[in-house]
Amino acid sequence: MTSLTERLQTVDRQIVIDDTAQLIDDEVRSKSGFSGMALKGGYKVVKKLKPNMIEEAIDHLLDDFTAALDPLYQEFITKEDVKNFEVYIQNHDARAANDLLSITDARAERSDKQVLKSTYSKLRGQAEKHVRQALPGVGRLIDRHAPRA
C-alpha cells in the first residue's frame, strides 16, 4: 500500500503547507477563555518574531507528521464502511493526538533553544486537547490531498 507520505508527495508541497498553516491559524483563532488567550498570545509572538516560522515548521515536520499518522491512515484505507479520514481520525483522536505530539515532544527535548523548551513545556499540558480539537481539520486536509484511491 502507498503510504500517506508518498500520497502527499504527489501534491504540490507548498499547497499542503499553506492549507496546514491556514488550519493552524483557524484553530488558534477559534480558541477562547484563559488558555485560548495564552495560546493566541504565544502564537502572535511567534509570528511576529519570524513571520514565516509556522510555514517553515510545517515544511520541516510534515514528513514526520505524515509518517506518524500513516498507521492510522493505512487502517482507514482498509475500512470500506468509513467514508472519509476525517471521521476515522476523530474516532481515534487520542491515538492520533499522541502520535502527533510524540514528534513535537522529541523535537522540543532535543532543542538547544531554552526559550523554545520553556514555551513548549508551558503549553504542552493543553496541547493534547487542542490537537484533538484540530483533528477534524487534519482529516479534511488529508481527505482533500490524499483521498482513498
pLDDT tens per residue across span 4-30: 999 999 999 999 999 999 999 999 999
Q: What residues contact 46, with CB distance under 8 A and at least 6 apart?
A: 53, 54
**Would you state the pLDDT for residue 119?**
82
**Inter-residue contact 18 to 59 (CB < 8 Å):** no
As a residue count, the chain comes to 149
Q: At what angle do helices 114-145 and 33-49 cross, to 10 degrees?
A: 100
What burial letters (b/e) apply to 62-94, b meaning 16+ CB within 10 Å? bebbbebbbebbeebbeeeeeeebbebbeeebe
Query: Which ranges in 50-113 belong to alpha helices (H)?
Result: 53-78, 85-91, 93-110
* 79-107 average pLDDT score: 94
**Inter-residue contact 17 to 143 (CB < 8 Å):** no
Instruction: Give residue-wise pLDDT tens across range 116-134.
Output: 888 888 878 888 888 999 9
What cell does 116 get?
A: 523554545
CA distance 132 to 79: 22
By mean pLDDT, which of 10-19, 20-29, 39-48, 58-67 is the weakest?
39-48
* 62-70 average pLDDT score: 97
